[in-house]
Amino acid sequence: MSWTPSLDVPRPRTAPPGGAVPSLDADPAGPIVILGVAASDAHVVANQLIAFQLRQLGYHVVNLGACTPVRQFVACAAEHPGVLAIVIGSINGHAVEDLTPLRAAKDRGEIPCPVIVGGNLSVGSAKTGNEAAVLHRLGADHVLTGIGELIALLGELRAVRAGLAGPGGICAAVRSPALTPAS
């Protein structure tokens, strides 16, 4: 499954009375999601589409763009103490190398929220199958393979924060092994 987003998702935000079109800017009242592309990766098309889609769903997206080192995600999280999640994409397959500093940052308490990683997580066509396990050891809380998983997971995190989730989470029916946090 590709990390490339589909634009075929429900868009709950509608035009207000009078017909004004909703802004494409971040919703300052929505849950904050910090989005970026791993440090050695300059691919931004999926990043921009994900940012657009999340904004349409009511999230306040702080998009750090391409080539974002872990220290920049840390600095941004410090500027946004209510952050719901940090979402890191990688298309070039170097996520493991780029996210090596993540564990130390989490151990120092510099990241106050779940870290979600997705995309092409290894170099070349031959996958080892342990990319997710390695990323979990590095500090990724969730490793995803598609935008649908991201939308569902952010919805669950949002519900947990609002105190609406029961045992197993509000999205337990759509949970897959890829959505299960590292233990």
Range of the domain at 101: 32-179
- Report if residue 114 sits inside a domain: yes
On the CB side of 86, how many CA atoms lie within 13 Å of its CA?
Answer: 33
- In one-letter notation, the amino acid at residue 43 is H
> Does 16 reside within a domain?
no
Asked whether the beta carbons of 117 and 95 are under 8 A apart, the reply is: yes
Output 144-147 pairs: Cβ under 8 A, ≥24 positions apart.
Answer: 144/3, 144/116, 144/117, 144/118, 144/178, 144/179, 145/1, 145/2, 145/3, 145/118, 145/178, 146/1, 146/2, 146/3, 146/118, 147/3, 147/4, 147/5, 147/6, 147/50, 147/53
Q: What is the structure's pLDDT at 124?
A: 61
pLDDT tens for residues 56-89?
Answer: 999 999 999 999 999 999 999 999 989 999 999 9
Is residue 23 domain-resident? no
- pLDDT in the model for residue 128: 73
Start-to-end C-alpha separation, the chain: 24
Given a contact cutoff of 8 angstroms between Cβ atoms, the answer to whether 64 and 26 are in contact is: no
User: Does residue 75 belong to any structural domain of this protein?
Assistant: yes
What confidence score (pLDDT) does residue 126 get?
A: 61
Task: Decide if 8 is inside a domain.
Answer: no
Residue 22 resides in a domain? no
Is 106 a domain residue?
yes
Q: Does any domain span residue 11?
A: no
Interior angle at CA 90, CA 40 and CA 124, nearest 5: 90
CATH number at residue 51: 3.40.50.280
**Structural domain tally of the chain?**
1
Residue spans of the chain under pLDDT 50: 1-2, 4-25, 168-183
